[in-house]
Amino acid sequence: MATNTIKWDHNVEVLIDAKRIDERITELGREITAHYGDKPICVIGILKGCFLFFADIVRKLDLPLSTEFIGISSYGDATESSGVVQITADLTRSIEGADVLIVEDIIDTGLTMRYLLENFRTRRPKSIKVCTLLHKPEGTKVKVPIDWVGFEIPNKFVVGYGLDYVGRFRNLPYIGVYNGPT
């Protein structure tokens, strides 16, 4: 496991270092590209946590694509999902008839993704696939289809690489377990 080199992250224990993240995203990019071939897709990022993963994964996709974002909140300032899903920013274009790839930072309880999949199905896309960087199988309350998983992780609260605690730690280059206030 890598050691921390950042001065202000002393309450974060490295779980997945930047090199492993990059290697896995390259693999995911190849797998997703192979699945779609040369079909155009609409890649939808779930804000805010996915922004680093989203930027990296779309650059690894060798196929025609458009991008969209949707803002979803279910954590607020807590370290556990509330189960109450709020759309904070909706899509700007229709996904009707499109092959959609949802890019998520983490799937924990499954409640947010279930809500999102149900919401998107009403918008009549041609297909919906899900790619998540992290999955916490132990935290699952409802099973949702996940087509591509970067890493399965323990049921601990993680930050870094886009994931936050009360808006902090998103800029860490790795994913780490948050061990309390700093």
Extents of the domains making up the chain? 24-156
Q: What is the pLDDT of residues 17-63, one digit of tens each?
A: 999 999 999 999 999 999 999 999 999 999 988 999 999 999 999 99
Answer yes or no: 105 catalytic.
no
Res 72: pLDDT: 87
Res 58: pLDDT: 98
Q: What is the pLDDT of residues 58-81, one digit of tens each?
A: 999 999 999 999 998 775 555 555
Report the pLDDT averaged over residues 142-147: 96
Whether the model clears a pTM of 0.85, i.e. scores above it, the answer is: yes
Residue 102, classed as helix, strand or coil, is strand
CA distance 156 to 15: 10
Res 11: pLDDT: 85
pLDDT band at 96 (very low <50, low <70, confident <90, very high): very high
Tokens of 50: 């996915």
Query: CB–CB of 105/49 below 8 Å?
Result: yes
> SS in 3 state form for 131-153?
EEEEECHHHCCCCCCCCEEEEEC
Which of 3.40.50.300, 3.30.70.100, 3.40.50.2020, 3.40.50.10860 is the CATH number of 24-156?
3.40.50.2020
- Active-site residue (options: 56, 99, 105, 108): 108
Residue 40, classed as helix, strand or coil, is coil
Q: What angle do CA 66, 70, 73 make, to 5 degrees?
A: 155
Burial (Cβ within 10 Å: 0-12, 13-18, ≥19) of residue 20: middle
**Hey, how many other C-beta atoms are within 10 angstroms of the C-beta on 66?**
12
Query: Across the strands, what pairs with 67?
Result: 43
CA distance 39 to 180: 45
Average pLDDT over the chain, rounded to an integer:
91
